[in-house]
Structure 1
Amino acid sequence: MTRVLVVRPDNNGDVLLAGPALRALAADAEHVTLWVGPRGRLGASSLPGVDEVVVRTLPWIDPAPAAVDGDWLEETVAFASGLRADRAFVLSSFHQSPLPTALCLRAAGVPWIGATSEYYPGSLLDLRHRIDDDVHEVERSLDLVAAAGHRLPDGDDGRLRVRPTTRPNPVPAGAPYVVVHPGASVPARAWSPERNRAAVGALEAAGWRVVVTGAPDETDLTRTVAAGARTTLDLGGRCDWEELTVVLRDAAAVVVGNTGPAHLAAAVGTPVVSLYAPTVPAVRWRPWQVPHELLGQQDIGCAGCRAQVCPVAGHPCIGRVVPDDVLAAVTRLTGGVADPVAPAEVPA
């Protein structure tokens, strides 16, 4: 096997979960190309085993899809043809069909294509793999590539990984800290700003420094969550992907919903307090092979709704989680703060 193309055009977190399967392929391939959408570019750039990252949106995956017409299809087929793949694997979640992607790859002349599909693929797939839906996304991808004969090399434990970085930590040196990441790519997966702010207060009162993180478009949210806190550092919009990696790596724990930074924390081995709204099943997307606790009612009647915005008043699946629950989970995962923050360590 020489040139392998892997297509995973999802968000950064989904792309990170493909990492172990990519390493299994890289053990046998001369060159691995990872095709992602623009929402997964940062995650893709940090994965070991990937030689090349290419970016092109696939409208049947992107949550804000553009129109598809003949010109777009012709351009996409030409794009795929230019990647010169000998084999292609289309990685998809249980609710996605890999077949539109496979059609583009077949039209581009890719000689062998494998994917997991419940749908009859006709001649679109050379390997039509099937697996129980209720497995973790990491296992779903690993099982597909294993069906094609590719397994993780000896000594690879299958955990999430990212490339090491030498970037300095923007958090000043001092007492241990906990990261609170209040945002989420899907609003229905986010705990309320008020609860996040109260959790910051509870963590501070217990002696933790707290660092609040968020994307550039979440600065109003992080400012609200950090408001009034004595020792909390608001890094909302102030960290690029590598800096966020370092901040999460050096944290004692991360408090976060089911969103990309939860998987980035797992990739650097940091315990996760997961405020997990079960819009999708936790068995498929919970933090992978890292100490973690799920907070939120997983067996609620509307579990699996896949809602973008919660339609139920009070957001009951995670709305019933209180800040003391977060503090207790952090304490269980870390053993409690060993070196309480001192007033002199309050960031400027």
Structure 2
Amino acid sequence: GVLRFSRLLASGDFELAVSPHRSHRTSLILRLSGIKRRIGFDKAGFSFLYTDRVKYRMGKGIHEIDRNLDLLKPLEEDYSVVYEKEPELPLSKVEVEGTLQKFSLEKAYVVLAPGSVWRTKAWLPEYYAEVANHFIKKGFTVVLVGSPSDSPYCRRVEELSKGVVNLCGRTSLREFFSVVRGALLVISNDSSPVHVAISVGTPVLEVYGATVPEFGFFPYRNGTYVELEGLSCRPCGIHGGKKCPQGHFKCMVDLKPEFVIEKAEELLKSGIFHYPKSVRGGS
């Protein structure tokens, strides 16, 4: 509980705590731990318990990475702060090529990630299938990825498309990273594959439904997003939900495959690759 964890922190003799978490519980734990300097957001629960309160910025163009880096600003007077703003997942060329060989991914491919924990963040599988068929007709391999819980989404896409490679639930975490690394493009809901793609330098197209880019989780680099603008009911929650509160699910139903395909093609033609795609891996 709160007391047990605060005692554990107190035993570590920490001088500084920097917390991006905004819960009442975290603020209380840090105060009870006796850590002298505690930096947190002004919008956090019990924010008065922090010694330094940083403005929580939210809006168009403000990413979660930049927002969290704001927490280091109070330290700039006392410390030399180096801002590493390029997230990266280190993967060797051997590791990536070994994974691609294991799953027989021998030609250029596009990754689709149709799953989500939250139903209202998941674009329709039927629409993903149309995107898959578009790229298959153009000669690309299309690969489906996701955790075992995403299997219903991936199976539906597989049923409606012509020859996708369904790796949903079949890869380890590192293999998943490698599959994303080797792709020409990733198309994903507002979910973790977006951030994996960003971290390995693969172009990514993020599909928004119940949530919005203003929450700060849009592609930080090498990518873009699509959304249905002008709906007064968006966003309907910070995480989305299990069903549409309005019952119409227009944010996804009215976001047609043709629009997503157009944006995906634009992204492919832009050439925003962070490494030669023929290499299929790092050093």
TM range (shorter): 0.7 to 0.9
| 2:111–2:186 contact (8 Å) kept in structure 1 | yes
Output the CA distance in 2 between the equivalents of 1:145 and 1:163.
25
| In structure 2, C-alpha distance between the alignment counterparts of 1:182 and 1:200, rounded to whole Å | 11
Deviation of 1:278 after TM superposition, in Å, equals 4.6
SS state at 2:206 partner: strand
Give the drift of 1:335: 2.3
* Residue 174 of structure 2 is aligned to residue 242 of structure 1: yes
| Partner residue in 1 for 2:229 | 298
Alignment pair present for 1:81 and 2:6:
no
Native 8 Å contact 1:182 1:256 kept in 2: yes
Verify the 8 A CA contact 2:3 2:29 in the aligned structure 1.
no
1:213 positional shift: 0.5
Greater fraction of residues in helix: 2
Deviation by residue 1:74-130 (Cα, 9 ceiling, x = unmatched): 3222343355432111103xxxx34431210221222221011136633x2121111
| CA deviations over 1:188-222 (Å, ceiling 9, x no partner) | 11111222222212221222210000101222321
Aligned residue among 121, 127, 142 for 1:189: 121
Q: What displacement does 1:317 show?
A: 1.4
In structure 2, what is the equivalent of residue 5 of structure 1? Answer: none
* Structure 2 residue 48 is the aligned partner of structure 1 residue 116: no
Aligned residue in 2 for 1:169: 99
Question: Is the 2:126–2:160 Cα contact (8 Å) retained in structure 1?
Answer: no
Following the alignment from structure 1 to structure 2, what is the Cα–Cα distance between the partners of residues 109 and 163? 37
What letter matches 1:126 in structure 2?
Answer: T
- Aligned CA distance change for structure 1 residues 118 and 224 (closer, same or farther; 3 Å): closer
Gap runs ≥5 in structure 1: 1-71, 337-348
Report 1 or 2 for greater relative contact order, CA contacts < 8 Å, sequence distance ≥ 6. 2
Distance 1:254 1:236 in 2: 14
Show structure 2 runs of 5+ residues with no match: 271-283
User: Alignment RMSD, CA only?
Assistant: 2.4
The TM-score normalised by the length of structure 1 is: 0.67
Q: Does 1:126 align with 2:56?
A: no
Query: In the alignment, which residue of structure 1 is the partner of 2:275?
Result: none
Residue 321 of structure 1 corresponds to which residue in structure 2?
Answer: 255
Kindly state the Cα deviation for residue 226 of structure 1 after the two structures are TM-superposed. 1.5
Partner residue, 1:148? 75
Residue type of the alignment partner of 1:74: L
Pairs within 5 Å for 1:64-103:
72-92=1-21, 97-103=22-28
- Report Cα offsets for 1:133-167 as digits up to 9, x if no partner: 222211111111123226335xx5x1222233553
2:90 alignment partner AA: R
Q: Does the 8 Å CA contact 1:179/1:248 hold for their aligned counterparts?
A: yes
Aligned with 2:36: secondary structure? coil
1:7 is aligned to: none
Per-residue deviation, 1:228 = 5.1
1:104 maps to which residue? 29
In the TM superposition, what is the alpha-carbon distance from 1:324 to its structure 2 partner?
2.4
TM-score w.r.t. structure 2 length? Answer: 0.81
The letter for the 2-side match of 1:121 is S
Distance (whole Å) between structure 1 residues aligned to residue 148 and residue 154 of structure 2: 10
Q: What does the per-residue CA deviation read over 1:21-41, in whole Å, with 9 as the maximum and x for residues that have no partner?
A: xxxxxxxxxxxxxxxxxxxxx
CA gap 1:131/1:104 in 2 versus in 1, 3 angstroms = closer
Residues 211-230 of structure 1 mapped to structure 2, 5 A cutoff: 211-227=143-159, 229-230=161-162
| Conserved? CA contact 1:295–1:318, under 8 Å | no
Describe the SS at the equivalent of 1:159: coil
User: What's the counterpart of residue 277 of structure 2?
Assistant: none
Q: Distance in 2 between matches of 1:257 and 1:82?
A: 42
Instruction: Quote the offset at 1:260 in angstroms.
Output: 0.9
For the residue of structure 2 that corresponds to 1:285, the secondary structure is coil
Partner SS state of residue 164, structure 1: coil
Percent identity, aligned pairs only? 23
Partner in structure 2 of residue 274 of structure 1: 206
